[in-house]
Amino acid sequence: MTVRNAFEQYVKSLSSVYERGEAEVIARMMFEERAGLRSADIFLRGDESMNEVKANDLAWKLLRLMKGEPTQYVLGFCYFYGMKLRVNKHVLIPRPETEELVEWIINENKSGKGLKILDIGTGSGCIAIALKKNLPQAEVSALDISEDAMKLAKENAELSGASVNFIHGDILDSQLRIAGSRFNIIVSNPPYIIESEKSSLHKNVLDYEPHEALFVSDESPLTFYAAIINFADLHLSEGGVVYFEVNPLFADAIASLLRDKKFSGIQVKQDLSGIKRMVKGNK
């Protein structure tokens, strides 16, 4: 089979699961990352025979894609804030909205000098690592309950050359304390999709991404935010700031939680799509 034929067959197969345009994007990504064939190569070398080993590898990856497994899990990595990070079934795939949260923090704390930052529910480590890479003078820590996630986050930090202090702990444990630590910034993108929103999600999210990192009950949608705000009340230094990524349905309610705890300078920020996606408050 020629390179061109292999590519066309790949797109055709993926088009049964994805729209044609998206199928082409995924196929080009797979051919470049797994076979070293960029778009120009597919055009210029289209009549060459496809390498058998690479063709078999692509075929195996195609089976996974056809079942709906996210491209990032099939490849084993994603890009976030200019970094290439490993991802697997134990962590969420970082979203563009989270990049906007990181951008907000960096823009408001450009020197980073003397800052102590804690990322709660770090998952892949994307927030903590991006902040350390862009605020190198800051001391960055990251907390997560999942040992599997922590293992991957540590690998990502090492591969990215970012010095991050990882802490295994449960933010819902009211007894959780980090001895001797006062942070200037606490940031979190906790689970915030309510169970009743499941039907609106794509199959590849529901079937493959970790539910414990996605969902909260309809009855207690602010559980993680309340716990993090209580924790921040104890662990933020005077004038410290807490930043959240939020479900737009509850952005104003989270702002109210901060007010109840006497936080000030509260802001609800829209993402690039004009949706309430981020909240911050000063201690």
What is the sign, positive or negative, of the torsion defined by CA atoms of 19, 21, 26, 30?
A: positive
pLDDT of residue 177: 86
Give the residue among 253, 117, 258, 261 at the shortest CA–CA distance from 185: 117
Q: What is the DSSP code (8-state) at residue 248?
A: G
Instruction: Return d(Cα 40, Cα 28) in angstroms, integer.
Output: 10
> Can you name the residues that pair with 282 across neighbouring β-strands?
241, 264
End-to-end CA distance of the chain: 64
pTM of structure: 0.93
> Which distant-in-sequence residues (6+ apart) come within 8 Å of 239 by Cβ?
184, 282, 283
240 to 105, 117, 262, 283: CA distances (angstroms): 12, 10, 13, 5
What are phi and psi for residue 81, nearest 5 degrees? Answer: 50, 45
Tell me whether strands 264-270 and 116-120 are parallel, antiparallel or unpaired.
unpaired
DSSP tally for the chain: helices H, then strands E: 11, 11
Instruction: Return d(Cα 6, Cα 59) in angstroms, integer.
Output: 10
- pLDDT one digit per residue (tens) for the chain, 283 residues: 899 999 999 999 999 989 999 999 999 999 999 999 999 999 999 999 999 999 999 999 999 999 999 999 999 999 999 999 999 999 999 999 999 999 999 999 987 788 999 999 999 999 999 999 999 999 999 999 999 999 999 999 999 999 999 999 999 998 898 877 799 999 999 999 999 998 888 888 999 999 999 999 999 999 999 999 999 999 999 999 999 999 999 999 999 999 999 999 999 999 999 999 999 999 9
pLDDT of residue 211: 93
152 to 72, 122, 204: CA distances (angstroms): 14, 10, 21
